[in-house]
Structure 1
Amino acid sequence: MAISVETFFLDPNAQGTLQSKIQQMIAQGILSGRFSKGEKLPSSRRLARHLGVSRITVTLAYTELLANDYLEARDRSGYYVSENAPEPPQFAPQPPGQDMVDWSRAIGRRFTGGATPEKPQNWSSYRYPFIYGQVDASLFDHANWRLCALQALGQKDFQALTTDYYDQDDPKLIEFIARHTLPRRGILAQPDEILITMGAQNALWLTAQVLLTQRRMAVAEDPCYPALRDILTQTRCHLTAVSVDGDGLPPEALPDHADVIFTTPSHQCPTNATMPLTRRKALLKKARDMDALIVEDDYEFEISFLGAPSPALKSLDTDGRVIYVGSFSKSIFPGLRLGYLVGSKQFIREARALRASVLRHPPGHIQRTASYFLSLGHYDSLIRRMGQVFARRRAVMEEALAASGLSVAGRGVFGGSSIWMRAPEGVDMQLAAAKLRDRGVLIEPGAAFFHRDDPPRNFYRLAYSSISSDRIAAGVELIANTLKECE
């Protein structure tokens, strides 16, 4: 590999002639390990032009280094770092200086310390990964995604690939969402009422930043999506957690002066409860009476293999007070980081301006690739395939749970990809999860989902999206045996 000429700079404080300075510069690069054996140096002509010296000065420096075995010459090829060059010292480099900053005072706001659970990066290497939100490589349509990506890289889509949209989005993707995705949820929206985001979490962050201040009150479900709680805590708003029941968030339990209500009515996270139509209407009425806004996270609505999903809360809204959050990250693959916000023009305008100041817009190539994948029908085929496989896995899971005697705390009415579980009282699922991990089983302890100082520790979530049907029963049996040991 050739060493870039831009890495060479003469030290103005170095002593000696220009020739010796060049020798010292190259020798230090070799001794420090920056230049490796076998790497090619720039030609004498190019290095001389870069350093602003005569070519003969560089040639003489190269010749001296050649004699000292730092360099070797190859016929008609140039100079290379010699295989016999001195070895760099085998010790860690010293830091340039001591960090004298008192970061405990310098940091104005802290964003660490949230309760969002961490998932092992090597989850797929476990034999029984009951892990939520990861893609199953056996189900994903690699071939057509690759074709769509190549199509998006073509000359025809050069502008979509290279354009700085600033605060705009790919019109093809916006059109598909407006004409195909949202109508399936009973929602009609104009292009200026839709904003593409870097996944649902980014959509929730943008929403919280635009709507909340230190004087306003936000309501979150308890339990809820842990990352949402972290986002709301960071806004420094007044945060109230309202316990959900078997039908989701109860409107009558809402505080009287709430400003923004965050809810997952179609598929409560993590209990999987579905809010019935009467309660949805009651929630809208309660919000109208309080003049509050509602943020609806409609995650996983596509994974409805047990029956058609309930109408989105946004579709019942006649006041424009519901802000809708959707995502393709759960249904296509989580690394895609592509979601969308739907709301009034005034709200979307502010969210768009905030997004532009932080990340401008999601990459144009990703947006155009996704728009092809969606519009060519590959997305619908993927969803159908996932639904069929998840239905089989769900049936195997239900049978295994019944046989093992494990207690189900919540299951999706229309589908989904996980089941909310309850262990016996006194069982700490954080400790049980560590034992199970040693046995090749991954689960999600449930304490992180609760907004309490002392959350219940006997809940956990089992997902069947990333584990094959033939391994579910054995994995469930290991969980049952481990829980008995923990009692």
Structure 2
Amino acid sequence: MAISVETFFLSPDNQGTLQAQIQQMIAEGILSGRFRKGEKLPSSRRLASHLGVSRITVTLAYTELLANDYLTSRGRSGYFVSNNAPVPPSFTPPQKGEETVDWTRAIGRRFTGGNMMNKPHDWASYRYPFVYGQTDPSLFDHSNWRLCALQALGQKDFSALTADYYDQDDPRLVEFIARNTLPRRGIIARPEEILITLGAQNALWIAAQILLTQRRVAAIEDPCYYALREILEQSRCHVTPVPVDRDGLRPDAIPDESDVIFTTPSHQCPTTATMPMARRHALLERARDIDALIVEDDYEFEMSFLDAPSPALKSLDTDGRVIYVGSFSKSLFPGLRLGYLVGSESFIREARALRASVLRHPPGHIQRTAAYFLSLGHYDALIRRIREALKQRRAVMQTAIDAHGLRVSGKGVFGGSSFWMQAPDGSNTDDIATQLRAQSVLIEPGHHFFHGPDQPTNFYRLGYSSIPATRIPDGVARIAEAFRS
């Protein structure tokens, strides 16, 4: 029996080359059982004409499937589903009846229902995406990242790609962080004091699991990174919000009973405030007085394009009480999910054991690719390019904000990639954000960042890392008009 050519179609939403899409289409048909052993595929000429692609594209797809034993060729008769093709499940799934499990009682702990921000996955389709933390494809170094990925796939790096490190990490990546990344922040650390994580959020979760119990108290900034608050509330520790001002976290407001202090001194999240040196020393002194540990999330220090960044809090620590969190997810791309923890060897030993019990280690191929991208100088070149672009976009946005009389509540002293904005009292930025979406404008309401039930509704964040400078003035004008009306 021949498979009808009408069965095949290309979706405009599909990813990858045309050849890869055709291969996937046929493989999925076989794996799902729609295409059966011995059935004949349409000729390459007919399928190419039907799909509107070149005949060689179809031929190459057929050839690849032939090599993988999905298809077989019978001389001049054409291509058929191979007898050795993967076999789909032969059983008939039972009819699904009504569930008898009472999940309201069966679930011991709940992780849903938190105050997390919901970012649209199709943000790139908006004309004015003032979203934070996404990658601008016009700035990213695709070609060199691809070359580094291919190099990591080579025979020389076979063990890095395939080996189970168990609780260890790629030594090349750890060495680069120890010898290049951390010294730029004034930090000296041995490999035994560094752990690779799946981004900064994973690093914060590991730190919370190790340092906090139901009897311990965590002091957090208010407002703060909403995902950190969720992590701490899930750990069942006591959470104490500490207000921030134009210089970040206030050491004098930290309660005496605090066991762990979480802070973002380089660019306070979300206000972008940068903690001055005097306050950094005061924070260390306060932590020493109450015998508390500090978890420093040093995100976005690379985006300091107005002036050199201040030394990390960890570099000023002489007691070993600061645990440092770094990440490549913001500076490279968020989907990379690659970060690192730096702390005393005793802490990292426990963090390594905890990570191994959950996910072993981040994929070896990702670690080795990142190691090549960093060590070959591509990362530094990328950061320079991003800094220049952000500097230009920030200037354009500042001019547009001033022209339309919008109020800036916080902007990074040394740079960054966003403005923390404050709307007039009584405004609801959730409602405004919904209205603006209809005009292809994305802003981020700010209430998610605040602690407690009485969250202010008149704050919002405008990121400029994902929007071209030429579109910023028109986008800001639409935002201003939405607040006026």
On whether the aligned pair clears a TM of 0.5, the verdict is: yes
- What's the TM-score, normalizing by structure 1? 0.82
Q: How does 1:286-365 map to 2 (within 5 A)?
A: 286-365=286-365
**Secondary structure of 1:195's aligned partner:** strand
Structure 2 CA distance for aligned equivalents of residues 106 and 147 of structure 1 = 49
Q: How does 1:15-54 map to 2 (within 5 A)?
A: 35-37=33-35, 39-40=37-38
Q: CA deviation at 1:266?
A: 1.2
Q: Deviations over 1:186-221 (max 9, x none)?
A: 000000000000000000000000000000000110
- The structure with the largest alpha-carbon Rg is 1
One-letter identity of the residue aligned with 2:212: L
Q: Deviations over 1:234-272 (max 9, x none)?
A: 000000001101110011001111000000011100001
Q: Deviations over 1:271-302 (max 9, x none)?
A: 01111111111110110111100000000000
Query: Counterpart of 1:405?
Result: 405
**Secondary structure of 1:218's aligned partner:** strand
Query: Counterpart of 2:235?
Result: 235
| Closer/same/farther in 2, CA of residues 156 and 286 from structure 1, 3 Å limit | same
Query: Counterpart of 1:212?
Result: 212
Contact 1:218 1:239 in 2 (8 A): yes
% identical equivalent positions: 70
Q: How does 1:25-174 map to 2 (within 5 A)?
A: 35-37=33-35, 39-40=37-38, 95-174=95-174
Q: CA deviation at 1:433?
A: 0.2
Query: Counterpart of 1:453?
Result: 453
| Closer/same/farther in 2, CA of residues 318 and 37 from structure 1, 3 Å limit | closer
Query: Counterpart of 2:13?
Result: none
Q: CA deviation at 1:34?
A: 5.1
One-letter identity of the residue aligned with 1:35: G
Query: Counterpart of 1:278?
Result: 278
Structure 2 CA distance for aligned equivalents of residues 435 and 211 of structure 1 = 43
One-letter identity of the residue aligned with 2:249: L
Q: Deviations over 1:18-51 (max 9, x none)?
A: xxxxxxxxxxxxxxx953256537xxxxxxxxxx
Contact 1:411 1:420 in 2 (8 A): yes
Contact 1:40 1:78 in 2 (8 A): no
Structure 1 CA distance for aligned equivalents of residues 79 and 97 of structure 2 = 38
Q: Deviations over 1:352-404 (max 9, x none)?
A: 10000000000000000000000000000000000001000000000000001
Structure 2 CA distance for aligned equivalents of residues 163 and 382 of structure 1 = 30
**Secondary structure of 2:380's aligned partner:** helix
Q: Is 1:385 matched up with 2:385? A: yes
Query: Counterpart of 1:222?
Result: 222
One-letter identity of the residue aligned with 2:264: T
Q: Deviations over 1:83-130 (max 9, x none)?
A: xxxxxxxxxx87433321111111111111111201111000000000
| Closer/same/farther in 2, CA of residues 200 and 80 from structure 1, 3 Å limit | closer
Structure 2 CA distance for aligned equivalents of residues 94 and 155 of structure 1 = 46
Q: How does 1:161-200 map to 2 (within 5 A)?
A: 161-200=161-200
Q: Deviations over 1:149-207 (max 9, x none)?
A: 00000000000000000000000000000000000000000000000000000000000
Q: How does 1:249-260 map to 2 (within 5 A)?
A: 249-260=249-260
**Secondary structure of 2:461's aligned partner:** strand
Two-structure CA RMSD over aligned residues (Å): 2.1
For these two proteins, the number of residue pairs brought into alignment is 414
Structure 2 CA distance for aligned equivalents of residues 94 and 120 of structure 1 = 36
**Secondary structure of 1:326's aligned partner:** strand
One-letter identity of the residue aligned with 1:350: E
**Secondary structure of 2:278's aligned partner:** helix
Structure 2 CA distance for aligned equivalents of residues 464 and 301 of structure 1 = 16
Query: Counterpart of 1:70?
Result: none
| Closer/same/farther in 2, CA of residues 38 and 459 from structure 1, 3 Å limit | same
| Closer/same/farther in 2, CA of residues 482 and 294 from structure 1, 3 Å limit | same
| Closer/same/farther in 2, CA of residues 243 and 34 from structure 1, 3 Å limit | same
One-letter identity of the residue aligned with 1:255: P
**Secondary structure of 2:248's aligned partner:** coil
Q: Is 1:265 matched up with 2:265? A: yes
Residue ranges of structure 1 left out of the alignment (5+ in a row): 2-32, 42-73, 82-92
One-letter identity of the residue aligned with 1:97: G
**Secondary structure of 1:135's aligned partner:** coil
Structure 2 CA distance for aligned equivalents of residues 288 and 37 of structure 1 = 69
Q: Deviations over 1:412-450 (max 9, x none)?
A: 000010000000001100000000011100010000000
One-letter identity of the residue aligned with 1:222: D
Structure 2 CA distance for aligned equivalents of residues 187 and 114 of structure 1 = 35
Structure 1 CA distance for aligned equivalents of residues 253 and 228 of structure 2 = 20
| Closer/same/farther in 2, CA of residues 77 and 307 from structure 1, 3 Å limit | closer
Structure 2 CA distance for aligned equivalents of residues 255 and 38 of structure 1 = 69
Structure 2 CA distance for aligned equivalents of residues 165 and 80 of structure 1 = 40
- What's the TM-score, normalizing by structure 2? 0.83
Structure 1 CA distance for aligned equivalents of residues 81 and 371 of structure 2 = 49
